Structure 1
Amino acid sequence: MNKTLLIIIILMVLVAAAGVFYQQQSENRQKSKLVALVDQAVELIESQGEAGFPELRSSSWVHNDSYVFVWRLDGVRVVYPPDPSGEGKNMTDLLDSQGKPIGKLFIQTAENGNGWVDYMWPKPGEKTPSLKVTYIKRAQYQNQTYLVGSGVYI
């Protein structure tokens, strides 16, 4: 193997590694923003309860394809900015495009405190599913427990 070929191979590996590193950094920034957004929504709910729901439906809580949604722990969706007519619907049996029980996983994640759920879901206006990760966190107001979440496509 000559030196030129070896140098080209090394450069290709370095470029690929830099691309992977950049992608991971971008995903980490997106995830950090989601955590901050959900944490703020949890604070609002824990201080105001349902009185904070109208604010969570406002456009200030929607960022690109990401928005904050709220369910009660019985699976009933109580805040859903993309389609408020879907509020009041029980989402416990929600499945992703591959049959993953994301409704139950969202509830279990909130029962455990907080965490991430990844699944396949079509982007708005598309039919082909893409990888989406959603951060879920439990919120408590008086005698009601909620799950608060927001997701981003990767």
Structure 2
Amino acid sequence: MRNISIVAGLVLGALSGAAVAATAERATAKEAEAMVKKGVAYIKANPHDKAFADISDPKGQFVDRDLYLVVYRLDGMNLAHGYNRKFIGKNMIDLQDSDGKLFHRERIELAKTQTSFWQDLKFVDPLSKKIEPKQTYCERTADMLVCGGIYKP
């Protein structure tokens, strides 16, 4: 019986360690807000072509674990994307999440009345490669939105 308890303890300990490791891989809301603020400052301090290229670099300073930045004009045009470069240069105004939510339209509406906000949606998590619940923090600067989010698998 003692051996079963030891094995059970080791298994539970390993599972708890895995849960802690999985959580450590995830960005926090505070980190998302800080990354967006850093991106906004970077866009203001650099030529837009350089800023957008740097934000879109998957190995650059604006990608950290499952946290990456995206930049959109207020008409829905994607200017930078740290996770999927195929989106750059495309108008994403009618993009829906897996629940049919037109989240870009919602972002643009929110940006009309708020300079910063959080938004809930579902999107592909770069760590799990699955559609997961996501909370995205956005800040409006000039005619753009800079956003970065956290996943809730």
TM-score of the superposition, structure 2-length normalised? 0.71
Query: Whole-Å Cα distance in 2 between the matches of residues 105 and 49 of structure 1?
Result: 28
Letter in 2 for 1:52: A
Aligned to 2:52: 53
Q: Does 1:146 align with 2:144?
A: yes
Query: Whole-Å Cα distance in 2 between the matches of residues 61 and 126 of structure 1?
Result: 19
For residue 101 of structure 1, report the CA deviation from its aligned partner.
1.3
Higher helix share: 1
Residue 119 of structure 2: which of 117, 120, 135 is its match?
Answer: 117
SS in structure 2 of the partner of residue 104 of structure 1 = helix
Q: Does 1:70 align with 2:68?
A: no
Root-mean-square deviation (CA, aligned residues, Å) is: 1.9
Aligned to 1:134: 136
Query: Whole-Å Cα distance in 2 between the matches of residues 136 and 78 of structure 1?
Result: 14
Greater Cα offset, 118-127 or 84-93: 118-127
| Greater radius of gyration (CA) | 1
For residue 85 of structure 1, report the CA deviation from its aligned partner.
2.9
SS in structure 1 of the partner of residue 44 of structure 2 = helix
Query: Number of residue pairs matched?
Result: 122
Call closer, same or farther: CA 1:45–1:76 in 2, change over 3 Å.
Answer: same
Q: Unaligned 5+ residue runs, structure 2? A: 1-23
Q: Unaligned 5+ residue runs, structure 1? A: 1-25
Q: Which runs of 4+ in 1 moved over 4 A?
A: none
Query: Whole-Å Cα distance in 2 between the matches of residues 126 and 43 of structure 1?
Result: 30
For residues 58-93 of structure 1, the C-alpha deviation after alignment (integer angstroms, 9 at most, x for no partner) is 322101111011011110001012232321111111
